[in-house]
Structures are given as C-alpha cells and as structure tokens.
Amino acid sequence: MLALNGMSVTRPAGLSEAVSLSGLSTLGVGGPARYYVRAGSAESAAAAAAWAFAEGLPLLVLGGGSNLVVSDDGFPGLVLHLLVRGVDAVNADGAVEVSAGAGEPWDGLVERAVASGWAGVECLSGIPGLVGATPMQNVGAYGQDVSETISRVRVLDLRTGALDELTGADCRFAYRDSRFKREDRGRYLILGVTYRLRPGGPPSIKYAELERHLDTQGIATPTLADTRRAVIDVRRRKSMVIDPDDPNRRSVGSFFMNPIVSAGEAQRIEAELRTDGTLAPGDTMPGYPAAGGRRKLSAAWLIERAGLHRGYRRGNAGISTNHTLAIVNCGGATAAEVVALAREIRDRVRDRFGVTLVPEPVFVNAEL
C-alpha cells in the first residue's frame, strides 16, 4: 500500500518482537504483537510503516489502546505505537487553534483547554486515549463530539506516501464514525489534530444528566471548570474514567453504539413493548431524534429489556456493575470470553427487538 518515495528501508531502531498487547490495552486482553515499535516523530513512524510494507507485514497503529479488542492470537504484523508529542496554540479570528501531536494524552489536552478558558471540548473530559485516535470514531460524550471542533487532521497517506492535511469536512464525520474508521480504514497515519476552540466561550450543557448533577451541586451558571468536574464525577460513577482501584476499570468504555433506526421501526418496537406489558401506559421508550428523521435508541435500555443486567458474568468477562454498556475483564479474561459475551448481548437484543447492535471498539484479528 505504501509508496516508498525512494525512502531507504531499514529495520526500525528499537524494534521488539513478541510484545504482549494485553498490557497495552485498557481491556487487558490479547496475545502478542509479532513486532512492536514506538515512534516519536512523523519521520520514524513513516520509516517503520515503510519497513512493514517492504516486509509484507500488516500494520496496526496503536494509541492508548482504549478502544481495541485484540485477539488471544495477538497481531501477526507490526504494531506501531504512534507517540508524536507537542501542543501549540495560536489565535485565529477570535478563536484559538490548538494543534496537538497524535501521541498527546487526550484528557491532558482537555484539562489544558479548560484551564485556559477555551470552550469546545469540556464535555469530553475523562475520556482515555490519545489525540490521534479522536478523529477515528469522532469521539464524543455528553452531547459534544470532536467533529464540532476539529479543523484539520495531519496525516501520512500510506497509499501515496505523502504528508497531507484534511479539513474537518474531509473527515466525513458521523456518530462514532469517520472515513478513517470506514472507507479509509488503514489508509492514514494520523500525526496530529487541530481543534478550533472558543476563548471565553460558555460550556456546552446539553445533557440532562449533566444538568441534574450541576443542579445538585447548586451550580446554576457553570464555568468550563465546573463542567469538567461534573463530567468526571458522572463518568466516575459509571466507571467511565480509569481508576486503578475500580474493579470495573478494564474495559473499552461503551462496547456498543446506540442503534439508529427508522421512525417506523422505533414505533414498531415501542408498540410491541406496550403489548407485552414491558412499557406501562404513559411510559415511553428512550429515544432521541437522529439525522434524516430517524431515531437513536438507547443500547443500554434495550440490553436491560433483553434480560441482561449489570454484573452479569460469563466466565471472567462481565457487564460492568456500574454501566450496562460496558463489558469488563473481571480479571484474567481472554479475548474469546469478551467476544462470547458480546455475541450473547448482541444476539439477545436481536432476538428480542430485531435490532442488531454494532460494536464501538476496533477488533484486531478478531470479530464479533
């Protein structure tokens, strides 16, 4: 895939073999990488990718490993740990453009934005992982998505070997989705991302749960810092920040996306639930308007109505005791156990509602 552009191909410095990937993923499952290398610069990343190409090896780019399910067989190619650092902020027409290297920890960048009074990412506090992965699935939470602020993504195009810059619009963002995850999967190394933030802007409070939490704190006009604190509090209650003392800490966050169905499909499901008594008169099924007149349903609600609850165990994998959407490694789980539980959840929801849940994480050498 990579055009080498006359680059001389040598074995990357610091290359290791048979490196366990379970320790490099937040779920804590997965076998070894055949080869593994850390790249702290665009040049070393390009050279390592060129070597993998020349050797005929598949390439896996690794960030914080917080959205990966790696098979117990591991990965048979080169795992390129992309750790380009650096943050730069410039004022631009009343906004501030913050450019960060792919290897910057995401939450550190959010913390800095909030402390500087730059609005636009405050609701994305507490999300693990690195900057380079944020465009991949258009990272989002509590009514905010990175697509709202990403203005440019710096990439190495492995198809042409060229360095390029994509605009936010070029990324074709959608709900937990982008071209990087979809039609251009594996095509780009994301080297850095620029976010266009609003200096002195107000926080974005669109989510009822967040609003309620701020209310309970007696905060009527929250600042960016209040909002960040509230988001982290709410996330912590759901084990959605990684805390070494939390037994639910080994996960990839939400395992399934909220399904988006036609309005007619949503009505059919609701009518059936009314008929079988699951929904009492006056109760409604949770759902939110989505693009094109469709409805976004709550995957967690459907899973619970399919009879699977928090704390449910299957071997050493389980549903988080704090969050129905999170599958956790309860200690010593294999990837096979995680996948078996995910299949059970998907199949139970499909059998009950005719809706097929789509997983959020990336499966490496494995599938659902």
Ligand X SMILES: Cc1cc2nc3c(=O)[nH]c(=O)nc-3n(C[C@H](O)[C@H](O)[C@H](O)COP(=O)(O)OP(=O)(O)OC[C@H]3O[C@@H](n4cnc5c(N)ncnc54)[C@H](O)[C@@H]3O)c2cc1C
Active centre residues (catalytic): 176, 254, 360
Chain centroid offset of residue 161 CA: 26
Give, in degrees to the nearest 5, the angle at Cα 263 between 262 and 265: 65
Site for ligand X in 241-280 (CB under 6 A): 242, 251-253
* Residue 232 burial (C-beta neighbours within 10 Å; 0-12, 13-18, 19+): middle
User: What is the smallest separation between the CB atom of 309 and ligand X, expressed in angstroms?
Assistant: 20
Site for ligand X in 310-349 (CB under 6 A): none
Question: Among residues 33, 49, 50, 61, which is the contact residue for ligand X, using CB under 6 A?
Answer: 61
Residue 277: CB atoms within 10 A of its CB come to 8
Question: Which of these ranges, 12-20, 186-194, 200-208, 270-278, lies near ligand X under the rule CB under 6 A?
Answer: 186-194
The nearer residue to ligand X, 132 or 287, going by C-beta atoms, is 132
Contact status: 66 vs ligand X (CB under 6 A)? yes
Question: Which of these ranges, 62-70, 71-79, 220-228, 314-322, lies near ligand X under the rule CB under 6 A?
Answer: 62-70
Residue 305 φ/ψ region, left for φ over 0, alpha for ψ in the -120 to 50 degree band, beta for the rest: alpha
User: What is the smallest separation between the CB atom of 81 and ligand X, expressed in angstroms?
Assistant: 9
Q: Quick one: which of 117, 76, 68, 80 has its CA closest to 95? A: 117
> Residue 107 in contact with residue 61, Cβ under 8 Å?
no
The nearer residue to ligand X, 189 or 319, going by C-beta atoms, is 189
Residue 56, CB-side half-sphere exposure with 13 Å CA sphere: 0
Nearest-angstrom CA–CA distance, 41 and 302: 44
Contact status: 82 vs ligand X (CB under 6 A)? yes
Alpha helices in the chain (DSSP H): 42-54, 106-116, 208-216, 224-237, 263-275, 299-305, 335-353
Site for ligand X in 349-368 (CB under 6 A): 362
Q: What are phi and psi of 185, to 5 degrees?
A: -55, 125
User: What is the smallest separation between the CB atom of 210 and ligand X, expressed in angstroms?
Assistant: 12
Q: What are phi and psi of 51, to 5 degrees?
A: -65, -45
Contact status: 102 vs ligand X (CB under 6 A)? yes
How many residues in the shown chain lie near ligand X by CB under 6 A? 33
Question: Among residues 240, 266, 328, 341, which is the contact residue for ligand X, using CB under 6 A?
Answer: 240
User: What is the smallest separation between the CB atom of 360 and ligand X, expressed in angstroms?
Assistant: 7
Site for ligand X in 120-139 (CB under 6 A): 127-130, 132-134, 136-137, 139
User: What is the smallest separation between the CB atom of 260 and ligand X, expressed in angstroms?
Assistant: 16
The nearer residue to ligand X, 242 or 273, going by C-beta atoms, is 242
Question: Among residues 30, 31, 35, 67, which is the contact residue for ligand X, using CB under 6 A?
Answer: 67
Nearest-angstrom CA–CA distance, 80 and 48: 7
Contact status: 60 vs ligand X (CB under 6 A)? yes
Q: At what angle do helices 224-237 and 106-116 cross, to 10 degrees?
A: 150
Can you tell me which residue has the tokens 């600042």? Answer: 223
Nearest-angstrom CA–CA distance, 130 and 117: 21
Question: Among residues 30, 32, 63, 287, which is the contact residue for ligand X, using CB under 6 A?
Answer: 63
**Which residues form the interface with ligand X (CB under 6 A)?**
26, 60-68, 82, 102, 127-130, 132-134, 136-137, 139-141, 188-190, 240, 242, 251-253, 362
